[in-house]
Structure 1
Amino acid sequence: MTDLLLWLKYLLLGIVQGATEPIPVSSSGHLIIAQKLLGIEQRGLAFEILTNTASLIAISFIFRKDIMRLIVGSLRFVQTREKSYRADFMFAAYVVVGTVPAVIIALLFKDQIESYFSNVRTVAVSLLITGVALWLIRNLRGRKRDGDLSFKDALIVGMAQAVALIPGISRSGSTVITSIAVGMKQDTALRFSFMLYIPISLGGLVLGISDIAGDPDRSTLAIPYIIAFLTTLVVTYFAMKWFMNIMAKGNLIYFAYYCFAAGILLLIFL
């Protein structure tokens, strides 16, 4: 019975991670809240890395055609210099530029950020900040498509992604919001945001292999970890599809309402 309860708790954690990773409400913040409510204390980063990897697989599968087009187009542009491939090459270059700020901040300050900000009060305040940002861009409809971006746009969005290292600040939220704020169309903002997510998550996985290998709970929590991983994988896929539909309709305002309600409730009750 004890094992069954533990498996159920990790199933719920997988649902929370999968449901919140693609949408602008902060998966890391919601995991902190869920772990507190379920009475689970994680030692190290192995669980976070595993569930983030599950989300990465699901999101990469959804954007697989875009990923392949950018890789093939970039390689062909380097080889042939044909103008028809330049847009793909430049978009890939913007993704690289946009990834740099978060990489630098993560390498220098990630441990300090997690130490100082991994608490429910920070999550609550961060959700309120995310809600305000979503409210401010609710009526913006940009005109920039993939071929209209600039290195300045990429750097600004990249800095927003770096800010999202603070628990409660949504990575997808900060990058989508900032992409729209600099004038991108909804579909371009969505695509650019999640193209930025892929290298950051891959880097986190590579750097976190030692955390997974050295996890003190690895043997005792093998089954719960597998349950959470598979649950996160499936739920992320459907949550991402749902969010893409929301973005297409321009209904981000509903996430602002959620962030306001969640932030206020957390400040009152936790």
Structure 2
Amino acid sequence: MIKSVLLGALQGFTEFLPVSSSGHLVLAQSLLGFAEHPLPFDILLHIATMLATVCFFYKSIWEALKGWLWGFTRRDLRDSWGWETGWAVIVGNVATVFVALLMKDKVAYMFQSPTFVGIALIITGLVLWYGSGKKGTRIKPDLKSGFLCGLAQGIAVIPGISRSGITIVTALVRGFSLEEAFRFSFMLSLPAIGGAVILEILDAGAIDAFASNLPKGWIWGVLSAFLCGMFALAILRRVVIFGKWRYFSVYCFVVGVLSLFVGMKGV
């Protein structure tokens, strides 16, 4: 049970904080001897963090969905935040899928290499350092910004590249306000995570096989992922609003160097 709770906490914190959940999974496997999650448990952890996102942003999600749907019936609403956000999220996820498919064959190798993860974490650190102090005034996403943030999200399939970090910094470079960059990054993530979960469920097979492959104490791991995810989102919001990126940048540098050391030692 303790191991399930720890894996859930690891997933919950690193899924949202700009430190790369996939990169930390590779390190946990190399340094702590953690085996890769059984697929059913991995699915439930992703569902838990997705639910944390929905709960944290439920007002914004409802506003965007309502504005986007109403825009089909009333032309005067096609300049609303919801209409613009809906299309930016769609365009962004098309870009994400395109990039992810291009990199699909190479990602499996990257997950086996702490050295590669170390390089990617150092790149994440540089991106966060660059984004520190940036802020704009844009309060509505546009298609070009959605597309560029979607490309960044696709690149984040590389273990060690932080999805939240690279998409928020991309939004800030595009002139988004701090609050809007934070909000758009996670609204952009929901279709991508949801699609990945559906594909994982299809891979998992029948429900009896699904249940039999869950580890002991899995429910506590799922709860841990949800609660840690909510807490991590609250932390990250303050980090973005107050521009404290460099703490996480330094962290990524340190862990990146550690990963390179692990890779060279062949652990």
Name the TM-score, length of structure 1 as normaliser. Answer: 0.89
Deviations 1:202-239 (A, max 9, x none): 11111111233369785153434333222101110111
SS at match of 2:161: coil
Residues 1-270 of structure 1: pairs in structure 2 closer than 5 A: 7-42=1-36, 45-83=39-77, 86-107=80-101, 109-110=103-104, 112-118=105-111, 119-146=113-140, 149-213=141-205, 218-270=211-263
SS at match of 2:176: coil
SS at match of 2:137: coil
1:84/1:184 CA distance change after superposition, 3 Å:
same
1:86: how far off?
2.8
1:63: how far off?
0.3
Give 1:246's aligned amino acid: V
1:42: how far off?
2.4
Give 2:81's aligned amino acid: A
Q: Which runs of 5+ in 1 are unaligned?
A: 1-6
1:62: how far off?
0.5
1:197: how far off?
0.7
Residues 40 and 210 of structure 2 are in contact (CA less than 8 Å); yes or no, is this contact kept in structure 1? no
Residues 9 and 38 of structure 1 are in contact (CA less than 8 Å); yes or no, is this contact kept in structure 2? no
Paired with 1:228 and 1:105, the residues of 2 have a C-alpha distance of 31
Give the share of equivalent positions with the same residue, in percent: 36
Structure 1 outlier segments of 4+, above 4 Å: 214-218
Residues 23 and 243 of structure 1 are in contact (CA less than 8 Å); yes or no, is this contact kept in structure 2? yes
Give 1:200's aligned amino acid: A
SS at match of 2:253: helix
RMSD: 2.1
Paired with 2:206 and 2:20, the residues of 1 have a C-alpha distance of 27
47-56 or 199-208: which moved more?
47-56
